[in-house]
Amino acid sequence: MSENDAIQVILEKCVGCTLCVKACPFGAITMKDKKAVIDLAKCNLCGSCADKCKFTAIVIKKTQLKKIFDFSAYKDVWVFAEQKKGVIQSISFELLGKGRELADKLGVDLAAVLLGENMEDTAKELISRGADKVYLVDSPKLKAYQDDPYTNILTELISKYKPEIVLCGASTIGRSLISRVAVKLNAGLTADCTGLDIDPEEKILLQTRPAFGGNIMATIISPNSRPQMSTVRHKVMKEAEPDLKRKGEIIKIKLDDDLYISRTKLIDVIEDIEETVNLAEADIIVSGGRGLGTKENFAIIRELAMALNGAVGASRSAVDANWIPYSHQVGQTGKTVCPKVYIACGISGQIQHLIGMKSSDIIVAINKDPDAPIFSVATYGIVGDLFKIVPLLTKHFKNIL
C-alpha cells in the first residue's frame, strides 16, 4: 500500500484486533506483524472494515472534494415500460408495483415512459397499473426496440424532465438500453436489484443486489448523481394490479428527427422457442438434467411442464449433450430464473446451476442420489427414480388442476 491508495491503514492506530479481517467480505485483509494489511487486488472499497474498526485505523479517502449537490430539480419515479409487438411486458407491471411504493414514500408522482407505434391505448393500461403520468413517444420508427433511437430518446426525456429514480427491467432490451443511458447521463446504475427502498432520512434509493452468484448481498447507493437508476429481474417484484378507474395523464412527446435515427437496422425478428412460455416470465419451470439419460426422455419433462402450464428448463449438461437448445439453459452460463415453483428433475445441482434458480419461491428436487447438492436448496426433496415419479406427478396434477 502507498499513501496514494484510496484505502489506508493507519499503523499507529491499528492494534491488531482482527475485527476488520472478519468484517471483510472479500478476504482482502490479513495480519502482518499484528497490523492489518489490505490486498488492493481483492478490496472493492466497500467500507465494511472501516465500519467495524473501533480505533478508526482504516480510512477510505475520496480525493475529490465533496461537492454540494443540489438535486432539488429532480422529482418523480420513472419506469421504462417495455413493449414487444405493442404488448407491455409483465416486468414493466412489476416495476410499476415497486415504483408506486417508492413514489408514495417520497411523496412524488410515478411516471411510465413508453416508446412504440400506435401505443395510446396501451398507455392507458400503464395508468391503470399505477402510473400518474405516461410520457408517450409514438412513431413508426420506434415500433421495435433498437439501441440508438431508444437510447437517444430516453436520455433526452430524462434530461428534460429530471426524474430522481429510473427503473428498468433486467431483460435483454432493458440491460442493453439502460446501461447506455446511464453512461450518457453520468448516472449511477445498479444491475439486478432484488430489493429497492428509500432511506427514510436521506431520501435516497437503497438498492440491494446479489453478488458472487448470490453468496453475498450488497446495498448500493448513487449519492452524487441523478437520476438513481436500477434494473430489476423478472419475477422479483410483485406486479401492480390493474385498476381501471385510476386517472392519469398521457403526455405525448415529439422530438427532433435526429434522435430517431438508428445506425443499426433490424432486419428480422424470429421466434424460435420450442415451448410457448418464456423462461424468464414463467411462474412454473420444470427442468431436466443429466439424470434423464437421453434426448427422448425429455418428453416426460415436457409433459409435466405442459400439465402445469409451465416452461421447460435444463441444466448445462443436458444442453451440452444436445438434448435441448441453449435457450432453455438455466444457470450461470444460461438464464437466471425466479419462478414461483421450480422442479429440478435429475439435476445434481452444481453451483453454476444453483446460481440461476435458487431464488425461486419453491424448489422441488427429484434425484436418485440423496447426497446431490440440489437437495440443499430444495423446499421439497424426493430421493427416487424420476422416471417413475415424474409421470406420476403429471397424472396427479392433471387430476387436481
Cis ω on the peptide bond leading into residue 149 (within 30° of 0)? Answer: no
Least CB distance to other proteins at residue 133 (A): 26
List the one residue out of 46, 55, 50 whose CA is nearest residue 16.
Answer: 55
Q: The cell 472494515 sits on which residue?
A: 49
90 binds other proteins (CB under 8 A): no
From the list 111, 355, 357, 372, which residue makes contact with other proteins (rule: CB under 8 A)?
Answer: 355
By C-alpha distance, which of 217, 220, 357 is closest to 287?
357
| Binding residues for other proteins, total number by CB under 8 A | 123
Place of cell 445434481: 348
Our CB check for other proteins shows the closer of 50 and 137 to be: 50
Residue 90 phi/psi, 5-degree rounding, is -60, -30
Strands 341-345 and 284-288, sheet pairing: parallel
- The string over 321-339, giving b where at least 16 C-beta atoms fall within 10 Å of a residue's C-beta and e elsewhere, is bebbeeebbbbbebbbbbb
Q: Which of 14, 96, 182, 236 binds other proteins (CB under 8 A)?
A: 182
SS3 316: helix
Contact flag: residue 273 with other proteins (CB under 8 A): yes
Largest CA distance in the chain: 73
The region of 72-80, 109-117, 127-135, 377-385 touching other proteins under the rule CB under 8 A is 377-385
Question: How many other C-beta atoms can be found within 10 angstroms of the C-beta atom of residue 160?
Answer: 10
8 A C-beta contact, residue 208 and residue 218: yes
DSSP-derived secondary structure letter, 34? T
Please report, as residue ranges, which positions from 96 to 155 form the binding site for other proteins (by CB under 8 A): 144, 147-148, 151
Closest to other proteins by CB, 118 vs 379, is 379
Q: Cell match 442493453: residue? A: 176
279 lies in the site for other proteins, by CB under 8 A: yes
Position among 10, 37, 108, 221 found at the interface with other proteins (CB under 8 A)? 221
* Binding range to other proteins, per CB under 8 A, among 121-129, 174-182, 247-255, 292-300: 174-182
**Footprint of other proteins on 22-61 (CB under 8 A):** 22, 24-28, 40-48, 60
Nearer to other proteins, 91 or 126 (CB): 91
Asked whether position 401 contacts other proteins by CB under 8 A, the answer is yes
Pick the stretch among 128-136, 238-246, 264-272, 294-302 that binds other proteins (CB under 8 A).
Answer: 264-272
Site map 183..202 versus other proteins, x via CB under 8 A:
xx-xxxxxxx----------
Q: Residue from 97, 179, 239, 373 that binds other proteins (CB under 8 A)?
A: 179
